[in-house]
Structure 1
């Protein structure tokens, strides 16, 4: 099975998170970062998860899950610790046409969270489709070492270049050719600069 990798805008959109442990807290952090309107339901809310909820003034319901809880949400995330619970939550969401993520349970998941890297406006997500999340995390750590801390300046310069090319070259074919040529020039320059920086850093260790 092949999954379509997408980046979704969740700002002010209702998302249901079921679970209150460490895994739920990890997903909660991502949803808060995405500015989603998160609703949390769990039989037990761990102290650290409760603290994060309080810090961001988010309400929660410490009770069992019921199938109708999924109604009105754009996404459902199941962070419970048993397969039967995942399957029950997934069935309720799918019956209502809502996409569901079940942590570490591929059969009950319509989408997966990738291991994420952020460098300014640049975002990279890596996924193994739930088969071995540790591989995705290992690749994320490798890329974090390879990439500079912030690429805002470089991406800003490229954005200005793209805007100018789109303005001054109306023909789509010529525009694409020009953008490709400029990108190749930038790529060579960037790789030379950062490869040199990386090698210099290694030589001083």
Structure 2
């Protein structure tokens, strides 16, 4: 399998962490690429009309995209157990994953906004996104995830480290001692330490 990814992408990192937790990373070839909104990527768009990463090309030639879909496939492919079977446990993992994805979604578009020419930036919009991120972080602080990796905790862990990576000027740990302690412990998993964003 071939995974088109970028070490700067929290979504792609999530998938790479999953391959390591499932112990199938040796079966997935990483191909570093970019998917910038303002630049064409013919190779990637030929595989994936959405032209986003991560994109996974299977050995059959079929292509999957969207981190959640890819992770679901990889979990099924490996009988890994990062996503429980139907029922309350699965819904809880998916709910946690959605919290992490929402943080990523808002942070990524904020990153794109601050890269625009200064005269075109809307700082109030960025502030509003971080207000909503803060509400999710408050919920996570009150209900810290389990330390064992599953699709939900991996997504949250990657989302929090993406905030550190791109928005160090907006510290999220203040007044969130439980979530901070959780993140510090979760970040020690080998799958997380080996996939850190570049500095």
**TM-score, normalization: structure 1?**
0.23
Q: Which protein is richer in helix relative to its size?
A: 2
Bigger relative contact order, structure 1 or 2 (CA pairs below 8 A, ≥6 apart)? 2
Q: Which protein is richer in strand relative to its size?
A: 1
Select the structure of larger CA radius of gyration. 1
